[in-house]
Amino acid sequence: MGLLERYEDLFPLTSATPRISLGEGNTPFLPLRNVGKSLGVKLYGKVEGANPTGSFKDRGMVLAVAKALEGRARAVVCASTGNTSASAAAYSAAAGLPCYVILPAGKVARGKLAQALIYGAKVLAVRGNFDKALELAMAASDEWRLAIVNSVNPYRLWGQRSGAWEICDELGRAPDWCVLPVGNAGNITAYWAGFVQYRRMGKCQGVPRMVGVQAQGASPLVSGVECDKPETVATAIRIGRPVNAQKARAAVKMSGGFFMAVSDEEILEAQSLLASREGVFAEPASCAPLAGLMRLKRDGKLPQATTIAMILTGNGLKDPDTAMSKAGEPVEVDGTMEALRKVMAP
């Protein structure tokens, strides 16, 4: 059952809204016992890489594209650092809508680029960063009356609330903390709205502190200054001017949470730890939250025994090159038992 059917009463649907689906949502909410024990907290990972196109974007995209169909849109357009393009292209293909994707040239992981292309989108790589790509996507939307499906689209954010609902359904309550990577700042806004909506409906108790983690090279919500040339290995959050900045600041403030920034080195260390200790392979941006928790632990600022939901926003196979740069290469040996005995020590 897709999200539009599962949470039909919680979405702004009408009888004319197509109930499209690629099987999104209902992603694993894993207890990360090994890493949690080392941090002294009860840690869970919401594995959004299990969505159809490998990221959390599918949650909002299914609703945004359904509403585009309902509104008889001519086509769909988006700017992207990668995951949005993959999701928009897939759902547009399923809905029979043309899809235009505007990407910053040379700044998108090849796994994500391959998805957008194979799903049949028209992909345009512009010389500039994501913020320039979004500016152009919005202008194209206005000029040709296309449905823009970035997080400026309210249906995108509404669909992403469903991640918070699933966490509450699993736990039977809201977690103490919800920690997310922050790029364009839509997801942290959506999760907060989802927790608040569930509490108001009496479906969960309490709301969590929202903690947003950015990369140091792209951390405008931490520094308070927009970044004209964002740089980080975590391509999914390489955004210097988040369009949802004001909403995200409000969500974090109302929840009693905070923003923080971590280095690329800390992100890659967290990615390796998560994979080697828990068997979960998430893309670099997804591991910024764990890097943040590890920093808080080292600084003595992580409350012990806290129940924490960590949103792992995308699959590690989205960007295998970055993972390989940290993990190293296979050991090449001759095809003999003698050669194996030299390197294996069970």
The pLDDT tens digits of the residues spanning 232-263 come to 999 999 999 999 999 999 999 999 999 999 99
Q: Which tokens in the block code for residue 188? A: 């942290």
User: To the nearest 10°, the Cα dihedral for 320, 25, 264, 43?
Assistant: -120
pLDDT band at 328 (very low <50, low <70, confident <90, very high): confident
pLDDT at 329: 83
Cα–Cα dist 270/15, whole Å: 45
Q: Which amino acid is residue 116, in one-letter code?
A: A
Name the pLDDT band for 108 (thresholds 50, 70, 90).
confident
Give per-residue burial for 215-248: e unless 16+ CB within 10 Å, then b.
bbbbbbbbeeeebeebebbbbbbbbbbbbbbebb
Condensed to tens digits (0 to 9), the pLDDT of residues 147-162 reads 999 989 999 999 999 9
CA distances from 28 to 76, 144, 170 (A): 29, 39, 10
Question: How confident is the model at residue 152, as a pLDDT?
Answer: 92
* Strands annotated E in 16-95: 29-31, 42-47, 76-79
- Model confidence pLDDT, tens digit, residues 171-230: 999 999 999 999 999 999 999 999 999 999 999 989 999 999 999 999 999 999 999 899
The type of residue at 252 is V
Please report the pLDDT score of residue 109 as a whole number. Answer: 85
Record the pTM: 0.94
Q: Residue 1: what pLDDT?
A: 85
> Is residue 110 scored above 90 in pLDDT?
no
At 204, the amino acid letter reads C
Q: Are 51 and 24 in contact (CB under 8 A)?
A: yes
Strands 99-104 and 42-47: unpaired
Whether residue 87 is predicted with pLDDT greater than 80 in this model: the reply is yes
Question: Mean pLDDT, to the nearest integer, of 34-39?
Answer: 98
Mean residue pLDDT of the chain comes to 95
Residues in a beta bridge with 76: 99, 147
Q: Which of 52, 142, 117, 141 is nearest to 91 (CA)?
A: 52
* Contact (CB, 8 A) for 286 and 181: yes
The DSSP 8-state label assigned to residue 55 in this structure reads B
**Averaged pLDDT for residues 72-86:** 94
**Per-residue pLDDT reduced to its tens digit, 42-54:** 999 999 999 999 9
pLDDT at 324: 84
pLDDT band for 326, please (50, 70, 90 cuts): confident
